[in-house]
Chain A
Amino acid sequence: MNKNQGRQLIEKWFSNNNWEVFPFQKDVWNAFLTGKNGLLNAPTGSGKTFALWMPNLIRWIDNHPNTYQTLENNGLQVLWITPLRALAKDIQNALQSSVDELGIPWEIGRRTGDVSTSIKQKQNRKMPEVLITTPESIHVLLAQKNYARHFKKLQCVVVDEWHELLGSKRGIQTELARSRLKALRPDLQTWGISATIGNLNEALEVLLGDDHSDDRSTIIRANIKKEMKITTILPDKVETFPWSGHLGLNLLHKVTPIIDAHTSTLVFTNTRGQAEVWFQNILAARPDYAGQIALHHGSLDREVRNWVEQALHEGILKAVVCTSSLDLGVDFRPVDTVIQIGSPKGVARFLQRAGRSGHRPGAVSSIYFVPTHALELVEAAALKSAVDESEMESRDPILKPIDVLVQYLVTLAVSDGFLPDEIFAEVRKSFAYQTLTDSEWDWILTFITTGGKSLGKYPEYSKVIVDEDGLFKVVDRKIARRHRMSIGTITSDSMLRVKYLSGGNLGSIEETFIASLNIGDKFWFAGRNLELIQLKEMTAYVRRAKGTKSKVPSWQGGRMSLSSNMSKLLRSTMQKAIDGNTDMVEINAIQPILEVQKSWSILPGEDQFLIEKSYSREGCHVFFYPFEGRYVHEGMSTLVAHRISKMVPITFSIAMNDYGFELLSDQDIPIEKALENNVFSPDNLIEDISASLNNSEMAKRKFWEIAQVAGLVFHGFPGEQRKTKHLRMSSGLMFDVFTEYEPGHLLIQQAFDEIMFFQLDELRLRKVLLKIQKQEIVLNQTKRFTPYAFPIMVDRLREKMSSEKLIDRVKKMQTQLEKHV
């Protein structure tokens, strides 16, 4: 037996299949086999799975040169974590056929939410050699009695699509699970796979926690450059192209010919509602597509989605209208073009979507961009230049989320119990909790054992007890059962199932939408026109309907923000347009509208900050244009509104989009005076924002999510789901009660931190304010709403802020009312 037997066998297997081993795959094998941890940076469809799979087999063969084809029941060797259930099956198939062909009697198992209980029970008795799973499912495993027995032989953890998990609470779950496994198996090897992001080095550190060190861990880049063809669909006459809007149906007649010209097309929209509308309109325009096109989004029934994915895979669909639900996932080889409706908001997302076409090494990816309003033409131009410069967005990791840690500790208490000192040390080794303090830890232990100060009186919140050996455990079986049901960090509004009266699931829909309907009303869902027949036990029963006056559900959560990278590109593209220093077709097309903006106000260059003030029947409008994306504008508008409202009692209605924001008031807004007082000063930023956040809807919504993860909200066992209607307002209530009775509640604190850091992006906001200090501020009084202002002005989703006394506001409204009458 030679000592390179494993590698030779694998290389031979590659060449038997007519594959070559790519250099990056060899690099990974080498690093892996010397015992390093690491991160592989490679796109999907590049051979990344085999890059990390093969060294596991090589080592197995080398360690068992004579018996590798006969040894069975070897225990769990490799844990493969993926963010998406849909991916698990593909990986399972790929890994299983490789071991089968090599004659290695390994079993590749899958354990995700949709795997049957009988298979899970079989796994509990005997784990397969490889388990492909999701972060939630590992935590469910950790909630099992005597879970450690499963991991006795574990050699390696592979985290696939790590960039998708990083920056989310599912990433934190991954870090925590790894910290536990590492304690059980000190020699555990960890590898991640990530698409290109701006902070790969940080991604590696987060994955490995305190295992990260320069000589023991490495990043390997596949450096695969994908050729990409980007085409913008231009309106015939930009003069009649709308200044605002987000549906983009004006260009439908130019989209269907693209679908015709290709074998299989993915049409990406930004929201589920938009996907429904597009699906229905494509069918209306081209009835002959019936049966050849499909719809795919996150609210559709899992079975429907599986069917669509399978059909795409087999190439029997001409087109699928989808949302980010197909950003990741199964490899759809037949797809040869992608259409993006509306701004993708970020370069990385755009490229990822483009990459869903031409999904083979060497093939060209082709993507069409369909603007939904005039200014998106500038974005289109910016995206094109982005591909050449290819600067990627970062995914910022979450630090120290208390809710996920609370959930994890109860998980451990539910299974075998835990000793605080031991787990504290482990948790502190993870990246997320490296700065966790003793007092925070004590607060958390008190919280899970007594419910904390506010809930101390109620036995149901003393979840965990401490036994005489100091072991923290859950003894109450009902609490344990409840907890196992609730493991996970993805929270949502309460959803209703949508079902045909005659049986058959269609999917689920937000309760708030159904609440706006009456029995007999018609709506579009799952690409079908439906009539609401009855509401019973969290289920909306429907039947097929005819007619055209149907509503389209609006799902929340679809309002993404421009990435900072994207906004930088946007501004520099604008600057090029101002300088006349570009011949891009998109800029030429939008020129007439830019001319209007220029003649009614100005086209602000990179070193200018434009503010427009105008009056209408509604009152006084002031528009600001930082071009920094919705999230930053959310923070900045709150800040500016708060600072002005300290100068004078005033009430604002606030609207924003990715380009700017608007303050609207019934009285004159003293923006001139505010500018003299340096309203954009970065000083006291945190204090001013916190002051305006207190009691805001934003903080309440965030706290509701956190409360769900931390186990303060329980959605009921399946089949016995409670009526939520009268409980719906409880999110605000919980927030109010906790802030009032337990100031310093870490979960409330976390809600504010998350808003500051993620929602309002405080760091970026501070940078923007510093930038404005150096810009020339141009304040223009405009007679009409300019092309920049108009799309913001028509937005109906608005935040409110007031520094007036309630009674004064009422009196003012009353006099305004009298004037009307």
Chain B
Amino acid sequence: MKEFSITISGQSFLLLAQKAMLWKEEEMLIISDVHLGKAGHFRKNGIALPSSSNDDNLHQIDELIQKWNPKTILFLGDLFHSEKNEEWNTFKEWRQSYKSISFKLVMGNHEIYPQTDYELLGIECYTHYHKSDILFVHDNSDVKTTSDMFCISGHIHPAIRLKGKGRQSLRFPCFYKNEISMLMPAFGNLTGTYSIKPKKNDTVIATLDDQLIRIQ
């Protein structure tokens, strides 16, 4: 399947195979851990990589915008990966081409640009964002467990490992949901992943190329 519907706090969400999520009532596209500028970061650290991957990330968001026509895009942190480099300029131009869309950013731990830099581009910044009893943060370990809001977060780049006969094993980035929270997969294509160990009643939706598949 390409999309997967879930309900959280009475609101309907659509998980997308592109590792993003759509909040239907709010017409809000939610994307986590894009890590733009990583290629430049690699170059700065002595590893030659062209920025094409960066452009690819933005193209993928373009496609999502065309398909779902959102009013708002919410980034769940780690939008940019360290130092300012020329990829920032590309991003600036890109942002300005979507004047009618509202951009929101929950600040992440890799976000080393000051909030004001984003605000100058017309991006609203938050340390956490909540609406309709749903809390959006970058890293959910920052949230006190006593919170009674459902929490949606990114940061850890969740992946699920599957094992089969014949010593086979596969790993896929995934959405990972339990009673009180959900983790989103990292959107960026230059990111690593972390294998989760789900409990019995948790929901795990893996992303394979252009497909979603429910693991449990």
Residues of A within 8 A of B (CB): 451, 454-455, 457-458, 460-461, 617-620, 651-653, 664-667, 707, 712-716, 722, 726-727, 729-730, 733-734, 737, 740-741, 798, 800, 806-807, 809-814, 816-817
Contacts and interface: CB of A to CB of B under 8 A. Distances in A.
B53 A618 contact: no
B48 A664 contact: no
A451 B48 contact: yes
Given A651-B168, A664-B167, A729-B192, A813 B48 contact: no
B120 interface: no
8 contacts: A458-B50, A618-B166, A653-B167, A665-B166, A726-B192, A727-B42, A806-B208, A817-B163
Given A653-B167, A807-B211, A714 B46 contact: yes
Contacts of B168: 651, 653, 666, 800, 809, 813
Given A618-B167, A814-B162, A817-B162, 15 more contacts: A455-B48, A652-B166, A664-B166, A713-B46, A730-B49, A734-B49, A737-B52, A737-B53, A800-B168, A806-B170, A809-B168, A810-B208, A813-B162, A813-B170, A816-B164
A457 B48 contact: no
A727 B47 contact: yes
A482 B42 CA distance: 16
Given A807-B208, A807-B211, A813-B170, A730 B47 contact: yes
B71 interface: no
Size category of the B interface is 20 to 34
B43 A458 contact: yes
Interface of B: 42-43, 45-53, 162-168, 170, 172, 190, 192, 206, 208-209, 211, 213, 215
Contacts of B190: 733
A726 B45 CA distance: 11
B51, B165, B211: most-surrounded residue (chain A CB, <10 A): B165
A454 B166 CA distance: 40
B46 A798 contact: no
A652 B208 CA distance: 20
A619 B166 contact: yes
A665 B165 CA distance: 8
B166 A713 contact: no
Nearest to A620: B166
Contact of A816 (B42, B53, B165): B165
A722 B46 contact: yes
Q: Which 8 A-B pairs have the closest CB atoms?
A: A714-B46, A666-B165, A666-B166, A813-B164, A619-B166, A712-B48, A454-B50, A653-B167
A809 to B, nearest CB: 6
Contacts of A813: 162-164, 168, 170
A389 B213 CA distance: 62
Contacts of A722: 45-46
Given A455-B48, A653-B168, A810 B162 contact: yes
A713 B48 contact: yes
Given A458-B43, A730-B42, A741 B52 contact: yes
Nearest to A724: B45
Given A809-B170, A813-B170, A814-B215, A741 B164 contact: no
B213 A807 contact: yes
Contacts of B47: 712-714, 727, 730, 734
Contacts of B49: 730, 733-734, 737
Contacts of B206: 810
A807 B53 CA distance: 25
A714 B43 CA distance: 9
Nearest to B110: A726
Contacts of B209: 806
A451 B209 CA distance: 31
A653, A667, A810: most-surrounded residue (chain B CB, <10 A): A810
Contacts of A617: 165
A729 B41 CA distance: 13
Contacts of A666: 164-166, 168
A486 to B, nearest CB: 9
A651 B166 contact: yes
B164 A809 contact: yes
Nearest to B50: A454
